Amino acid sequence: MSYALMSQLFVRTLREDPADAEVPSHRLLVRAGYIRRAAPGIYSWLPLGLKVLAKVDRIVREEVEAIGAQEVHFPALLPKEPYEQTNRWTEYGPNLFRLKDRKGVDMLLGPTHEEMFTLIVKDLYSSYKDLPVILYQVQTKYRDEARPRAGILRGREFTMKDSYSFDIDEAGLQVAYDKHRECYQRIMERLGLEYVIVKATSGAMGGSRSEEFLALADNGEDTFVRSPGGYAANVEAASVAPGEPQDYSTVPSPTTIDTPGASTIDLLVTAVNEAAPRKDREWNGGDTLKNVVFMRVTPEGKRSPLIIGLPGDREVDEKRLEAAISPDEVEPFNDDDFEAHPMLVKGYIGPGVLTENLALLGTKGSSQITYLTDPRVVEGTSWITGANTADTHVINLVMGRDFTSDGIIDVAEIREGDPAPDGSGPLELARGVEMGHIFQLGKKYAEALGLQVLDANGKLVTVTMGSYGFGVTRAVAMVAESSCDDKGLAWPRNLAPFDVVIIVAGKDEQAHEVASKLAEDLDSAEVEVVLDDRNVSPGVKFADSELIGFPTCVVVGRGLKDGVVEVRDRAQDTARNVPVDEALAEILSEVRS
Amino acid sequence: MSYALMSQLFVRTLREDPADAEVPSHRLLVRAGYIRRAAPGIYSWLPLGLKVLAKVDRIVREEVEAIGAQEVHFPALLPKEPYEQTNRWTEYGPNLFRLKDRKGVDMLLGPTHEEMFTLIVKDLYSSYKDLPVILYQVQTKYRDEARPRAGILRGREFTMKDSYSFDIDEAGLQVAYDKHRECYQRIMERLGLEYVIVKATSGAMGGSRSEEFLALADNGEDTFVRSPGGYAANVEAASVAPGEPQDYSTVPSPTTIDTPGASTIDLLVTAVNEAAPRKDREWNGGDTLKNVVFMRVTPEGKRSPLIIGLPGDREVDEKRLEAAISPDEVEPFNDDDFEAHPMLVKGYIGPGVLTENLALLGTKGSSQITYLTDPRVVEGTSWITGANTADTHVINLVMGRDFTSDGIIDVAEIREGDPAPDGSGPLELARGVEMGHIFQLGKKYAEALGLQVLDANGKLVTVTMGSYGFGVTRAVAMVAESSCDDKGLAWPRNLAPFDVVIIVAGKDEQAHEVASKLAEDLDSAEVEVVLDDRNVSPGVKFADSELIGFPTCVVVGRGLKDGVVEVRDRAQDTARNVPVDEALAEILSEVRS
């Protein structure tokens, strides 16, 4: 006998949801006995969970090896030096688990392994003839997330497939990148996940171009935009359609107006409509230029004010902002900060070159404070904005005529219906979970760590790299999340811990015999089957079967007197009677369809 | 084509030995491109290494699952609390990698997982009906070794299979223990390792009985003893044959004698033979009782002197001592320590009840210093020993009559030829490497963590546990170590990264065609084959083939004009010509034999 017995399996289902579970996959994977929490964001895997994990792992490996990737395996406990050379020791900030060994030597738990892969290729290879090469590992990664959540969806210890490509030039990188893109598409399809590929930012990774594979999920923590015409981007990477310079020849010169107490956009609009009404229409929030102050903090801890000017009817999206200035972060600009910078008048900040007093922001100013503006603030646009004096604003301040900025920053919130930057239509906002991320790193790591090879002319050239991550443990959660219902998990057949559960309903000897025989026959036919032989009520067995999510459930019980067993399909939520002597053939055809 | 090409494989062989390599397996695994050092005691695995590792892993899993163990997987990054409850957070001392997360919470990298397994069974199980159960994982472990050495033989990050048994009583534990013992025997046989099973100490693990599986190796760091009659023990666990109490009725009363300057055993023997010659024979070192002082240090840092009395012709074996007092450790008793304990007269320490002055050691004394004696110091034996005054010794001091001790400690060095404690003959000393360790833990962890189940009478009983470790990465090194020769590695066929290498010797088209065809045919027959198609000399290919250690090497080259290829056997160091059209059948029969 080699089929599994439910009475022996190390699994117990729970009636109660775990207190900390926010999302269905977390709740159900714990309740159904797949995983257990060991510490915040750190999970233990029980036999059922490991079986699913192994199947996801196999799919990922098969597809990665199919594009020619060779497997290696790096330590999780790593020396500091390579990560210092690329500055990621610092840039990763508190997300990095750092420790000292018994000799006081600094070490880290690897969040991702660009440095190590770069060094191993440097160690082994020296000629363009050695390239291209793609290496991969499936390995435990560590990130000290500020808010680990949703069980294994965002953990602090997790399993990732990470691969890395090494090429002599950009064209080679593009080939490796495209291979991975297609490889990830196949993986997502085999996992049965609905997904979208979106333009992404590179974050701490660096590099030029990157895309994320997002599994669609209403409760996903990643927001993305897409247009009917095919534009798709992570909200951090989404951009605004570039505006055309405008003719400002008819715009009057700027004028300051008194706006007592108008420290919000709404109050300001009201005040200006009274003080300086325009003829064609009323002023609105979009006519105002809001200047928002943040304290920017570098990984080394250097702090400086950053002011962002954007239309008054938009807010700064902090996720977009942090992505744009990564690895720097921002903190609120607090009252002490305002006190330390008396030229910044809270509620009335504005760029300005009208008088020396107003010459605060922008390259023409002398404040030494960085001032960046939204792409909508194009040359020739005219604005109502702060006059850097309490209770005073200025109108008709024209970008490029009356003020300028230190650069463009595209970090305003994206709204449903905003135009796609490529003209492909209005944007739709949706949510997903990042399953994979592919990066064109370029030469960043190779340069920092000195990875060069001789080219065909005997000249040293720096290698061009790509890196490609896929969340293996996360995929288990995401498949659970996308296939479950209110009764429990409902695995697709290719990922289920067992294909078939046979429930012995009733205590008579015959039921047990028929069930055991069927289990044996299915096992011989290489179907993964578990026999629920436990001494509990049929009701408990049904409920567990639905909670655990076996695709096919065969009930051997009362029907036997009529010569039938019941075959239930978990995903379809259907049940039908099948004559005992046809059950094997019937189940086999279902399992193999 | 799915066979491997040497030109594509991510491997480079080195001509030079790595500077830090002490043992052949380390030297060769690095030179042949199986592993690379990432930090002291921490290694990266290259494709060839991973292939061998996967085969070892499979053998271990197959055998562990054959005894009914179910796979689970715990995190490597663990919370402190469970390890505090068992006191191992402290007891592990500097061998434990400790770290704090971003919130300042103490965490550790798991050196072994008794606590976590105990808690998961407590979480899931509650009745004697649930038992027995055996759980296992194959997982990355961390130990901050003081002296990581010999490459992956003793690393700081390594892969271990650890399993744990849970039983309602001792009889159940014995069954699980015996299952593991047999399982490990099968694993060692399948790995082709010569081994011995020895009695062992339990160290930081705790528990009653344990045995080690040592692979025989002249350069192994573990010393063990064995007798012709079958006694075998790790040197730390070896014991001395218990002596019989002796009749001391004819021994005169103790006498002090002047022994100026006799601060060593040799000087003492000379002095006593002059001052108080005996009639039957000369005094010798074995007649003296040497009292050696150590500073004992608890994991919490508490320090106290520990004096060990043993025959003067023996030394204390510090490894045996540390094993005996684990988790405490010892440090040398230095001059400052002697100054702080003026009653301990360096070179003249002795037990004594002759006068108040001498009442220093043993339970009858008043020194409050722990005094433990060697098992050879049995009741009735008479000794020459220090009189606790400079330049003075005492003779005829009889154990049990004139002094006693606080207990027995069996930590004197074991010598070749010492009698086995079970009377099975003289001991032989030999060396090996610990591959597996099986422990009867008993109730230590279950008690500390409250793992109880209801017995058949509805009464709560504490569960009885065993734990069983096997070094998976270490096994790769040990197999390499035991099969290599001066030319390189020479893998047994069932563990080799590839079964067959086909060397294209020469540049003519025909050689390449014949070789490719043979590779294709072997691949179709499911033989793991690599074609050495590199543009290097045959000499380089031969040397690499021998260094990497492929079991079978087929040379397709000059012989072709006579219609033959050469088939070399790496382990046998033989070569023979085989007609081209018989090569496939010939190789298949060799590979499958």
pLDDT digits (tens, 9 = 90+) for B319-371: 899 988 988 889 999 999 999 888 888 888 888 643 344 445 554 455 678 88
Inform me whether the pLDDT recorded for B153 exceeds 50.
Answer: yes
* Cross-chain Cβ contact B71/A157 below 8 Å: no
Reduced to 3 states, what is the DSSP secondary structure of residue B496?
Answer: coil
- Min Cα distance B572 → chain A (Å) is 30
Radius of gyration of chain A (CA): 30
Q: Quote the pLDDT of residue B488.
A: 96
Residue B518 · residue B560 · CB < 8 Å: no
- pLDDT (mean) for B405-425: 91
Tokens linked to A98: 């750092």
Site from B14, B65, B77, B116 to mutate, A interface, most A CB atoms within 10 angstroms? B77
Q: What is the C-alpha to C-alpha distance for residues A361 and A349, in angstroms, rounded to an integer? A: 9
Residue identified by tokens 């060094």 is: A119
User: What letter represents residue A144's amino acid?
Assistant: D
Residue A249 half-sphere exposure, CB side, CA atoms within 13 Å?
1
Inform me whether the pLDDT recorded for A205 exceeds 70.
Answer: no
Cα distances from A559 to residues A501, A565, A587, in angstroms, run 17, 6, 17
Q: How sure is the predictor about B204, in pLDDT bands with cuts at 50, 70 and 90?
A: low
- pLDDT (mean) for A491-507: 94
Alpha-helical runs (H) found in A164-286? 170-190, 265-275
* Cross-chain Cβ contact B78/A38 below 8 Å: yes
Q: Quote the pLDDT of residue A259.
A: 87
Inform me whether the pLDDT recorded for A359 exceeds 50.
Answer: no
End-to-end CA distance of chain B: 26
Inform me whether the pLDDT recorded for A65 exceeds 90.
Answer: yes
Local structure of residue A431 (DSSP, 8 states) = E
Q: What is the C-alpha to C-alpha distance for residues A543 and B347, in angstroms, rounded to an integer? A: 77
Q: What is the C-alpha to C-alpha distance for residues A383 and A290, in angstroms, rounded to an integer? A: 9
Residue A24: which residues within 8 A CB-CB, separation 6 or more?
A: A480, A481, A484
* Cross-chain Cβ contact B72/A98 below 8 Å: no
Site from A5, A51, A70 to mutate, B interface, most B CB atoms within 10 angstroms? A70
Inform me whether the pLDDT recorded for A565 exceeds 60.
Answer: yes
Local structure of residue A251 (DSSP, 8 states) = P
Inform me whether the pLDDT recorded for A119 exceeds 80.
Answer: yes
Site from B101, B113, B123, B157 to mutate, A interface, most A CB atoms within 10 angstroms? B101
Q: Which has the minimum average pLDDT: A342-356, A414-428, A482-496?
A: A342-356
- pLDDT (mean) for B255-279: 88
Dihedral sign, CA of A68, A74, A78, A82?
Answer: negative
Q: Largest Cα–Cα distance of chain A, in whole Å?
A: 99
> For residue A96, what is the enclosing H or E element?
none
Compute the mean pLDDT over every residue in chain B, rounded to the nearest whole number.
91
Complete DSSP assignment for B174-203? HHHHHHHHHHHHHHHHHTT--EEEEE---G
Q: Quote the pLDDT of residue A364.
A: 44
The three-point CA angle A96-A152-B69 to 5° equals: 110
Inform me whether the pLDDT recorded for A478 exceeds 90.
Answer: yes
Residue bearing the bigger pLDDT, B376 or A20: B376
Alpha-helical runs (H) found in B2-113? 24-31, 47-66, 81-85, 88-91
Q: How sure is the predictor about A355, in pLDDT bands with cuts at 50, 70 and 90?
A: very low
Residues of chain A in contact with residue B83, where contact means CB-CB under 8 angstroms, are none
Q: Quote the pLDDT of residue B1.
A: 58
Q: Which domains does chain A have, with CATH numbers?
A: 24-238+429-481 (3.30.930.10), 255-408 (3.90.960.10), 498-592 (3.40.50.800)
Residue identified by tokens 């010999």 is: B150
- Min Cα distance A44 → chain B (Å) is 4
Reduced to 3 states, what is the DSSP secondary structure of residue B521?
Answer: helix
Q: How sure is the predictor about B565, in pLDDT bands with cuts at 50, 70 and 90?
A: very high
CA nearest B136 in A: which residue? A47
Inform me whether the pLDDT recorded for A591 exceeds 70.
Answer: yes
Q: How sure is the predictor about B389, in pLDDT bands with cuts at 50, 70 and 90?
A: confident
Q: Which has the minimum average pLDDT: A193-202, A352-361, B383-392, B453-462?
A: A352-361
* Cross-chain Cβ contact B39/A77 below 8 Å: yes
- pLDDT (mean) for B109-126: 96
* Cross-chain Cβ contact B135/A10 below 8 Å: yes
Inform me whether the pLDDT recorded for B42 exceeds 70.
Answer: yes
Residues of chain A in contact with residue B16, where contact means CB-CB under 8 angstroms, are none
CA B14 to chain centre: 30
Q: What is the C-alpha to C-alpha distance for residues A183 and A185, in angstroms, rounded to an integer? A: 5
Inform me whether the pLDDT recorded for B294 exceeds 80.
Answer: yes
Q: What is the C-alpha to C-alpha distance for residues A99 and B38, in angstroms, rounded to an integer? A: 16
Residue A9: which residues within 8 A CB-CB, separation 6 or more?
A: A47, A48, A530, B70
Residue A474 · residue A152 · CB < 8 Å: yes
Q: Please tell me which of the candidates A10, A109, A157 has its beta carbon nearest to residue B70.
A: A10
Compute the mean pLDDT over every residue in chain A, rounded to the nearest whole number.
91
Q: Percent of chain B having pLDDT more than 90?
A: 73
Q: Quote the pLDDT of residue A367.
A: 61
Residue A377 · residue A360 · CB < 8 Å: no
pLDDT in tens, B475-505: 999 999 999 999 999 999 999 999 999 999 9
Q: What is the C-alpha to C-alpha distance for residues B443 and A561, in angstroms, rounded to an integer? A: 50
Q: What is the C-alpha to C-alpha distance for residues B141 and B307, in angstroms, rounded to an integer? A: 36
Residue identified by tokens 């591959």 is: B435
Residue bearing the bigger pLDDT, A504 or B592: A504
Backbone φ and ψ of B482, nearest 5°: -85, -10
Residue A318 · residue A294 · CB < 8 Å: no
User: What letter represents residue A300's amino acid?
Assistant: E
Exposed/middle/buried for residue B338 (C-beta within 10 Å: 0-12, 13-18, 19+) = middle
Local structure of residue B152 (DSSP, 8 states) = G
User: What letter represents residue B291's amino acid?
Assistant: N
- pLDDT (mean) for A66-83: 97
CA nearest B98 in A: which residue? A99
pLDDT in tens, A256-313: 888 888 878 998 899 889 888 888 899 999 999 999 999 999 888 899 999 999 999 9
Query: Residue B99: beta bridge partners?
Result: B107
Local structure of residue B26 (DSSP, 8 states) = H
Tokens linked to B467: 């734990």
- pLDDT (mean) for A205-231: 88
Inform me whether the pLDDT recorded for A64 exceeds 80.
Answer: yes
Residues of chain B in contact with residue A144, where contact means CB-CB under 8 angstroms, are 101-102
Inform me whether the pLDDT recorded for A477 exceeds 90.
Answer: yes
Residue identified by tokens 């790591």 is: A445
* Cross-chain Cβ contact B98/A97 below 8 Å: no
Residue bearing the bigger pLDDT, A352 or B88: B88
Q: How sure is the predictor about B142, in pLDDT bands with cuts at 50, 70 and 90?
A: very high
Residues of chain B in contact with residue A135, where contact means CB-CB under 8 angstroms, are 10
Alpha-helical runs (H) found in A86-169? 88-91, 114-124
Q: What is the C-alpha to C-alpha distance for residues B158 and A249, in angstroms, rounded to an integer? A: 73
- pLDDT (mean) for B389-417: 89
* Cross-chain Cβ contact B140/A144 below 8 Å: no
Q: What is the C-alpha to C-alpha distance for residues B235 and B429, in angstroms, rounded to an integer? A: 8
Q: What is the C-alpha to C-alpha distance for residues B17 and B30, in angstroms, rounded to an integer? A: 8
Reduced to 3 states, what is the DSSP secondary structure of residue B222?
Answer: strand
pLDDT in tens, A360-413: 455 445 567 888 999 999 999 999 998 888 898 899 999 988 888 888 899 999
Residue of A181, A186, A187, A174 lying closest to A199 (CA atoms): A181
* Cross-chain Cβ contact A97/B101 below 8 Å: yes
Residue of B42, B157, B6, B61 lying closest to B497 (CA atoms): B6
Inform me whether the pLDDT recorded for B423 exceeds 60.
Answer: yes
* Cross-chain Cβ contact B38/A94 below 8 Å: no
- Min Cα distance B64 → chain A (Å) is 14
Tokens linked to A275: 């003080």
CA nearest A32 in B: which residue? B124
Tokens linked to A199: 């333009």
Q: Quote the pLDDT of residue A402.
A: 86
Reading phi first (left if > 0) and then psi (alpha if -120 to 50, else beta), residue B425 is in: left
How many CB atoms lie under 10 A from the CB of residue A29? 31
Residues of chain B in contact with residue A124, where contact means CB-CB under 8 angstroms, are 10-12, 33, 46
Q: Quote the pLDDT of residue A361.
A: 52
Residues of chain B in contact with residue A36, where contact means CB-CB under 8 angstroms, are 120, 123
- pLDDT (mean) for A339-364: 66
- The percent of chain A in helix, strand and coil, each rounded to the nearest 5, is 30, 30, 40
- pLDDT (mean) for B82-106: 94
Q: Please tell me which of the candidates B44, B53, B109 has its beta carbon nearest to residue A74.
A: B44
Residue B435 half-sphere exposure, CB side, CA atoms within 13 Å?
31
How many CB atoms lie under 10 A from the CB of residue B313? 15
Reading phi first (left if > 0) and then psi (alpha if -120 to 50, else beta), residue B308 is in: beta
Q: Quote the pLDDT of residue B364.
A: 43
Cα distances from B85 to residues B79, B92, B94, B115, B128, in angstroms, run 11, 13, 18, 9, 24
